[in-house]
Amino acid sequence: MADTIIPDDLLALLRSVDTPTVCNAIEVAQGKRGFNRFTRGTMQHSKPGDPATVGFARTAKIAGLAPPNESSDVIRARRMDYFRSMAGGSGPTAAVIEDVDYPNCIAGWWGEVHVAVHKGLGLAGAITNGVMRDLDVIDDGFPILSGSIGPSHGFVHVVEIGTSVNIMGMRVAQDELVHADRHGALVIPNDVIPELKKAIETVVASESIVLAPAREPGFDIDKLERVWAEFEAART
């Protein structure tokens, strides 16, 4: 939450591992399978291979399929309130923005201008069920995980700031810790943070039980049978 501090070593580790590894590690930390606070379906990533986005969520909702019903003054004022909210919170932070027009989103909120602005305000990246564009010219160092890619900004405008959002089935509240890469995104429960570094190390170590022999010459079914029992005993 807002007052949670991520140790530097954990933050560095989270940025270096992929989201599936974190998903597995959360189950290790919880001591059971069934963790389900992650996105569903295939999403688009602005620059696959970039380090993972890790941050406390700064949330908002946008729309763009139809013109807003409110006055232009109200819309402009709310957009500036949105930027103030994005600039707030304890770092690291990430924008988590729901497009309420989903699955019919057309409004490219995430393009060259907004990427530069949000990166300049200190956010680590963005997660949205909406649209991104300008992929050839957006700044490096600000990954976007989106629901789609498109050319237009439509009638895009902010409708809510700081409320709970739904991104491809993943519910996120303001200030919850998120992790995202080309595979999707997830919410890291606050109560697993103290155990998460050890859990990630456990996942990596247990997978190496099978991966190392499987990648060596001479691997066969007999060797697999021997190492798989050890792997099963080590995993959740």
Domains of the chain, by residue range, sit at: 38-188, 195-234
Q: What is the mean pLDDT of the chain?
A: 96
Q: Strands of 69-111 (E only): list them.
A: 93-99
Is-contact 26 196, C-beta < 8 A?
yes
Residues in contact with 211: Cβ distance below 8 Å, sequence separation at least 6, in sequence order: none
Query: Distance between CA 198 and CA 56 in Å, rounded?
Result: 21
Q: What is the pLDDT of residues 54-75, one digit of tens each?
A: 999 999 999 999 999 999 999 9
Phi and psi at 27, nearest 5°, equal -65, -35
State yes or no: pLDDT of 224 exceeds 50. Answer: yes
Instruction: List beta partners, residue 110.
Output: 132
Q: What is the pLDDT of residues 38-52, one digit of tens each?
A: 999 999 999 999 999
Helix 19-30 to helix 193-214 angle, to the nearest 10 degrees? Answer: 120
Query: Distance between CA 8 and CA 130 in Å, rounded?
Result: 31
The torsion of the CA quartet 181, 182, 186, 190, rounded to 10 degrees, works out to -10
For residue 175, the 8-state DSSP code is: T
Which pLDDT score is estimated for 236? 54
For residue 17, how far is the Cα from the chain centroid?
13
State yes or no: pLDDT of 1 exceeds 50. Answer: no
Which pLDDT score is estimated for 3? 64
Is-contact 95 176, C-beta < 8 A?
no
Burial class of residue 59 (count of CB atoms within 10 Å of its CB; 0-12, 13-18, 19+)? buried
- The percentage of residues in the chain with a pLDDT greater than 90, rounded to a whole number, is 94
Q: What is the pLDDT of residues 153-203, one digit of tens each?
A: 999 999 999 999 999 999 999 999 999 999 999 999 999 999 999 999 999
Is-contact 193 14, C-beta < 8 A?
no
CA 58-176-113 angle, to 5 degrees, is: 25
CA 192-58-21 angle, to 5 degrees, is: 35
State yes or no: pLDDT of 2 exceeds 80. Answer: no
Is-contact 107 156, C-beta < 8 A?
yes
Phi and psi at 183, nearest 5°, equal -80, -25
Which pLDDT score is estimated for 232? 86
- Dump the DSSP string for 188-230: E-GGGHHHHHHHHHHHHHHHHHHHHHHTSTT--HHHHHHHHHH
pTM, to two decimals: 0.94
CATH among 3.30.565.10, 1.10.10.10, 3.20.20.210, 3.50.30.40 for 38-188 = 3.50.30.40
Q: What is the pLDDT of residues 10-44, one digit of tens each?
A: 999 999 999 999 999 999 999 999 999 999 999 99
Q: What is the pLDDT of residues 89-141, one digit of tens each?
A: 988 999 999 999 999 999 999 999 999 999 999 999 999 999 999 999 999 99
CA 93-169-204 angle, to 5 degrees, is: 65
Select from 106, 138, 103 the least CA-distant residue to 119. Answer: 138
